[in-house]
Structure 1
Amino acid sequence: MAQKRRTQSWAELKQAGNQCFKTGQYGEAITLYTQAIQQLEKSGQKNQEDLGILYSNRAASYLKDGNCSECIKDCSVSLDRVPFGIKSLLRRAAAYEAMERYRQAYVDYKTALQMDCNLPAAHDGTNRMTKALTDMDGPSWREKLPPIPTVPMAVKEKIMLAASPNAISKQNGIKETNTQMARDVKKAKLLKEEGNAFVKKGDHKKAVEKYTQSLSQDPSEVTTYTNRALCYLSLKMYQEAVRDCNEALKLDPANIKALYRRAQAFKELKDKKACVADLTSLLKIEPDNMASLKLLQDIQKMK
């Protein structure tokens, strides 16, 4: 049996490792992935993507086996070979969390969300880390975070294409799409800045127009939603403000401005329960937020 394994190709060893992982044989899976890595490195091919997958798979086995330190090492090696790999980021985040290294876990969860804002594991992890860091460091916990990497647009586009059923047919248009998306993001930023200028002048209607145009170019910019929500509050368009805050919180569940502005809108809509719920969530993140404490006092006086 041992002799047979020595003659297997790295791809066969990987497949055998996958099978062991599925059946809960994590120690055996680690051995097989290790042999696959050695085979691939010795072959001279050194395909970085294949190596990245093998290290990430072995990391998953280490995580299941309770060896978080080795999981983190393998995820880091995998991410060196394939930067911004979502599985490696989530596995490393889980290992960091298990070792109570909450700042590093938060950074990895937030980085994963930049690539897919609908990842339940990343959303849940971010919320857990926000609470843990607030308990540990207090209201200024964000100041102690390591830098959160900015995911390049080209990486986001690659992920979007990989998720598409027509990915193969779209490959020829990747370069053109990347260029267009870069233009869209740049245009969105300029439109957002124009909106900010109108806010400073007190012209909230014009600001809404600019923010709306900006979001049509880049619908993933959180601050544009919260800025437009502020304008809607000034224009007494409270349902619209709630909708914008909802969108912002989908992208960043712990966004202070979105929680506060939605609470303000709920107050005006006479939805006391929803207002209190948002302020309670906000104060768990920033217990000394004076504006929120005052609004909570005001809303509790409402009948």
Structure 2
Amino acid sequence: MPPKQKNKSWSALKQAGNESFKTGQYGDATNLYSQAIKELEKNSKKNPEDLGILYSNRAASYLKDGNCAECLKDCNMSLEFFPYNVKSLLRRAAAYEAVERYRQAYVDYKTALQIDCNIAAAHDGTNRMTKALTEADGPSWREKLPPIPTVPLSVREKLSQQAAGKPAPGKPAPATPAQPNPPAQPNPTPQQNGIKKTKPASSDKDMKKGQALKDEGNALVKKGEHKKAIEKYSQSLKLNPTEVTTFTNRALCYLSVQRYQDAIRDCDEALTIDSSNVKALYRRAQAHKELKDTSGCVTDLNTLLKVEPKNTAAMKLLQEVQKKK
């Protein structure tokens, strides 16, 4: 443990902690972050977000040392000072996962994805938790989850801007292999539809207009007017490009008018936002089947059945395509 560093500002102590973390001296980093927290707490002009970042940094050190209990405590403190801090959510999720509290981990991974749907670590974590919870609780596992908080639009806008642009001074926290520091791009799917993956958060006005257009599209689908519904869904997605059900609804319409590649691209988009979305997996499997891509179809159906093992439609389609092999 390094000697107590006297007469150093909290920011200098934080920087020293970051340097220790980078060189793998996690115990030293923990000590330095603790000193920084004490110094900052004494400062009358302290910024709550700065305290939140220090607790998050110390949580990363605890996580690296395998001290999940202290990591969880620090993440909770961090999120009190800096609500919806993505790094704290990801570190807490990793700690929950390590101690097999899979429901809480799932909630944190999904909350992080509300803030930035491009975080590969959160997509991967969601997939692992989905598999673990399905094995533990069966197909009704979602019913046993704690509530997933809704991230306010104003918070999503602020944090997505920080992620896409330059972070505020002092914001970066040290990375941990368990959860990469910057939001990472997800692995690209075989087909992409040209929509940029980093989508700006929609305003409340745009979201309401987008929802109204989506509702109009849904009404047209009920009437069997799939081409007109596609137009409404497309208009809706321009206003709210992160609404997963609009992509899966439009994919259904594309299937109905035999535009199978377009259906696949919409399902790709939906799965980028929600990697375990059952409708997207099923509709993409249907499109692959129509395009004679049996391998792609089987892969999607097997993935779906890991999420919902008793999905009868998926089991029936899988049997059908396997008979034709």
TM-score, normalisation: structure 1: 0.92
* Matched letter for residue 185 of structure 1: M
Match of 2:320 among 273, 298, 301: 298
Match of 2:278 among 221, 241, 256: 256
Alignment of 1:155-170 (within 5 A): 155-165=155-165
Cα offset for 1:294?
A: 0.7
Relative contact order (C-alpha < 8 Å, sep 6+): which is higher? 2
Cα offset for 1:87?
A: 0.6
* Matched letter for residue 159 of structure 1: L
- Matched length: 293
1:207 paired with 2:243, answer no
* Matched letter for residue 243 of structure 2: E
Structure 2 gap ranges (5+): 169-199
CA distance in 2, matches of 1:276, 1:149: 34
Larger Rg, first or second structure (1 or 2) = 1
Q: Which moved more, 1:19-28 or 1:189-198?
A: 19-28
Q: Which residue of 2 aligns with 1:72?
A: 72
Cα offset for 1:50?
A: 0.8
Could you report, residue by residue, the CA deviation over 1:199-250 in whole angstroms, capped at 9, with x for unpaired residues?
1112111111111110011110000000111111111211111111111011
Q: Which moved more, 1:120-129 or 1:219-228?
A: 120-129
- Compared with structure 1, are the counterparts of its residues 163 and 287 closer, same or farther at alpha carbon in structure 2 (3 Å cutoff)? closer
CA distance in 2, matches of 1:215, 1:248: 12
CA distance in 2, matches of 1:75, 1:189: 35
Alignment of 1:113-152 (within 5 A): 113-152=113-152
* Matched letter for residue 127 of structure 1: N
* Matched letter for residue 254 of structure 2: Y
- Compared with structure 1, are the counterparts of its residues 8 and 83 closer, same or farther at alpha carbon in structure 2 (3 Å cutoff)? same
Alignment of 1:40-55 (within 5 A): 40-55=40-55
CA distance in 2, matches of 1:251, 1:264: 20
CA distance in 2, matches of 1:238, 1:189: 25
Q: For 2:275, what is the secondary structure of its paired residue?
A: coil
Q: For 2:203, what is the secondary structure of its paired residue?
A: helix
CA distance in 2, matches of 1:152, 1:295: 39
- Compared with structure 1, are the counterparts of its residues 24 and 276 closer, same or farther at alpha carbon in structure 2 (3 Å cutoff)? same
Q: Which residue of 2 aligns with 1:273?
A: 295
Cα offset for 1:121?
A: 1.0
Cα offset for 1:164?
A: 4.5
CA distance in 1, matches of 2:67, 2:24: 15
- Compared with structure 1, are the counterparts of its residues 203 and 126 closer, same or farther at alpha carbon in structure 2 (3 Å cutoff)? same
CA distance in 1, matches of 2:288, 2:163: 37
1:101 paired with 2:101, answer yes
1:182 paired with 2:208, answer no
Cα offset for 1:165?
A: 4.8
CA distance in 1, matches of 2:270, 2:278: 10
Q: Which residue of 2 aligns with 1:58?
A: 58
- Compared with structure 1, are the counterparts of its residues 179 and 241 closer, same or farther at alpha carbon in structure 2 (3 Å cutoff)? closer
Q: Which residue of 2 aligns with 1:12?
A: 12
Cα offset for 1:45?
A: 2.4
Q: Which moved more, 1:290-299 or 1:11-20?
A: 11-20
Q: For 1:202, what is the secondary structure of its paired residue?
A: coil
Q: Which moved more, 1:41-50 or 1:155-164?
A: 155-164
Q: For 1:6, what is the secondary structure of its paired residue?
A: coil
1:237 paired with 2:259, answer yes
Tell me if structure 1 keeps the 8 A contact 2:153–2:201: no
CA distance in 2, matches of 1:206, 1:162: 38
Greater helix proportion: 1
Q: Which residue of 2 aligns with 1:197?
A: 219
Q: Which moved more, 1:225-234 or 1:147-156?
A: 147-156
Cα offset for 1:166?
A: 7.6
* Matched letter for residue 156 of structure 1: R
CA distance in 2, matches of 1:167, 1:134: 37
Cα offset for 1:180?
A: 7.1
Structure 1 gap ranges (5+): 169-177
Could you report, residue by residue, the CA deviation over 1:110-159 in whole angstroms, capped at 9, with x for unpaired residues?
11111222211111111111111111111111111111111222122212
Let me know the Cα RMSD of the aligned residues. 1.8
1:91 paired with 2:88, answer no
* Matched letter for residue 181 of structure 1: S
